[in-house]
Amino acid sequence: MIKLLFFGRLGDATYAAPEVFEASVGLTAAGVRDALSSLYPALGRALFEPQVLVSVDRVIVDWQQPLLDGCELAFLPPVTGG
């Protein structure tokens, strides 16, 4: 199982989204995003915004990053400071 985390405003679109995702051979962060998008269109629109980053086990990675069973996948919206 892959633990899913949604930060910032992305969390607002996850009211029905799962907290875990079944791991499978060859699964990538983009694959999880695609699957979530088909099940939860509002969340999908937010995840496909170009500024959204993804991290695996607290390291920002490319969307094509392979995922392993037991990892933590986090979706990070753009942030600003001031």
**Does any domain span residue 26?**
yes
**Does any domain span residue 69?**
yes
Residue among 81, 20, 16, 75 at smallest CA distance from 51: 75
pLDDT for 82 beyond 60: no
pLDDT digits (tens, 9 = 90+) for 53-65: 999 999 999 999 9
**Does any domain span residue 56?**
yes
Instruction: Report percent pLDDT > 90 for the chain.
Output: 66
pLDDT for 75 beyond 60: yes
**Does any domain span residue 15?**
yes
pLDDT digits (tens, 9 = 90+) for 23-43: 888 999 999 999 999 998 988
Question: Residue 81: pLDDT band by 50, 70, 90 thresholds?
Answer: low
The tally of domains found in the chain comes to 1
Residue among 62, 46, 45 at smallest CA distance from 54: 62
pLDDT score, position 15? 73
What is the residue range of 49's domain?
2-76
**Does any domain span residue 81?**
no
**Does any domain span residue 22?**
yes
Q: 40: domain CATH number?
A: 3.10.20.30
**Does any domain span residue 82?**
no
